[in-house]
């Protein structure tokens, strides 16, 4: 399967940085706005996927999440997290999911395993919800 390389990734980050200039010339502020969007998207989609009844909006949100998982593989990580890291110039940022964890003490292998476990649990719960129409 196709994965983007470092040069393509850098071009994407520069493109997004340039497009965010219409909000502000301050990368830290733009990163914060992107973080708020990232966090709200995650909270709203988790609410819809786990607590809302199974409806067309549920399946729409599930489809978006599937595309996000595919993009995480193709881009070797979350695009929004990479953009936040770039704008904040902080390589120790791992996204809103891990905001309460001290990841500086974790190895990269442990972080990847946590992500895999997290996604496996989400997929299992969603599969059971659809299967049993819970």
Alpha carbons 81 and 84: distance in angstroms, whole number:
5
Total domains, the chain:
1
Alpha carbons 107 and 110: distance in angstroms, whole number:
5
Give residue-wise pLDDT tens across range 36-75: 999 999 999 999 999 999 999 999 999 999 999 888 888 8
| pTM, 2 dp | 0.84
Give residue-wise pLDDT tens across range 77-131: 889 999 999 999 988 887 877 777 776 677 878 878 888 898 899 999 999 999 9
Alpha carbons 56 and 59: distance in angstroms, whole number:
5
Tell whether 1 is covered by a domain: no
Tell whether 113 is covered by a domain: yes
Tell whether 26 is covered by a domain: yes
**Nearest C-alpha neighbor of 81 from the set 20, 21, 29, 37:** 37
Domain that holds residue 117: 6-132
Question: φ, ψ for residue 106 (rounded to 5)?
Answer: -95, 145
């Amino acid at each position: 399967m196709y994965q983007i390389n470092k040069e393509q990734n850098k071009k994407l980050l520069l493109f997004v940085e340039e497009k965010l200039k219409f909000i502000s010339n301050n990368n830290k502020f733009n990163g914060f706005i992107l973080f708020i969007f990232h966090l709200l998207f995650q909270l709203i989609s988790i609410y819809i996927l786990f607590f809302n009844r199974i409806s067309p909006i549920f399946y729409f949100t599930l489809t978006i999440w599937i595309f996000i998982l595919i993009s995480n593989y193709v881009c070797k990580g979350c695009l929004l997290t990479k953009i936040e890291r770039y704008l904040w110039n902080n390589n120790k940022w791992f996204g809103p999911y891990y905001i309460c964890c001290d990841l500086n003490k974790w190895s990269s292998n442990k972080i990847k395993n946590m992500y895999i476990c997290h996604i496996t649990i989400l997929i299992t719960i969603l599969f059971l919800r659809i299967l049993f129409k819970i």
